[in-house]
Amino acid sequence: MTESSSTTAKQESPANLLKTALATIAVIILILALGLIGNQLYEIEEQLARDVPLAVAEGASLPAHVVVGGRAVYVPAYSHIYTGQGTPTPLAVTLSVRNTDPEHAIRIERVRYFDGEGRQLREMTEDGPVALKPMQTHALLIEQQQGGGGSGANFLVEWSAEETVNRPIIEAIMVGDGGLSFKSRGEPIERR
């Protein structure tokens, strides 16, 4: 039995070797095909990344939260808040407008400050529009004693750009005595 088992193993050995070789070749071909497909997908992604600015320049529409050409922004502000006893605590308010676009300028066309009743208290761009270079920040201050807006104060910031740009970040930062500080972020609204 040992002799016949040995003969059968010798006869099956070339067949097994052939199967193993074919399986190895198939795996190598599969790996090469996957590598080729992966390389083509990478090239397509690179091409798409290069084409995005062209699409924007040709007027293609991208979501407003990514890029825009200008808008009005409502920014909540608090010239005072109420403490536990209902006593108003006065706060200084800094309006911060940050151009987040690394390549294009924006213009702050108009900034108005309103009280909680909706009355305009100040026109903060009396000297005309303010240009912000790429990545530049502009700040406007309502001093602690000048507040007058109350807990419902707000800013209306109108800005524009000649190109489609990244949306700026517009915030109000409130600071009071004793280290009290917090901020609120502006919300785009429809320009009228």
Q: How confident is the model at residue 177 (pLDDT cuts 50, 70, 90)?
A: confident
Looking at residue 30, its pLDDT comes to: 84
CA distance 187 to 168: 11
Q: How confident is the model at residue 141 (pLDDT cuts 50, 70, 90)?
A: very high
Looking at residue 191, its pLDDT comes to: 62
Work out the mean pLDDT of the chain and round it to a whole number.
82
Looking at residue 10, its pLDDT comes to: 52
Among candidate residues 147, 161, 143, 181, the one with its CA nearest the CA of residue 97: 161
H/E stretch holding 76 reads strand 67-76
Work out the end-to-end distance of the chain between its first and last CA atoms, rounded to an integer number of angstroms: 99
Sign of the Cα pseudo-torsion (33, 34, 38, 39, in order):
negative
Looking at residue 90, its pLDDT comes to: 92
Looking at residue 59, its pLDDT comes to: 42
Looking at residue 61, its pLDDT comes to: 42
Looking at residue 21, its pLDDT comes to: 86
* Mean pLDDT across 154-178: 92
CA distance 159 to 52: 24
pLDDT above 70 covers a percentage of the chain that reads 79
H/E stretch holding 140 reads strand 137-142
Q: Does 81 score more than 70 pLDDT?
A: yes
Looking at residue 52, its pLDDT comes to: 41
**Is the model more confident about 169 or about 48?**
169
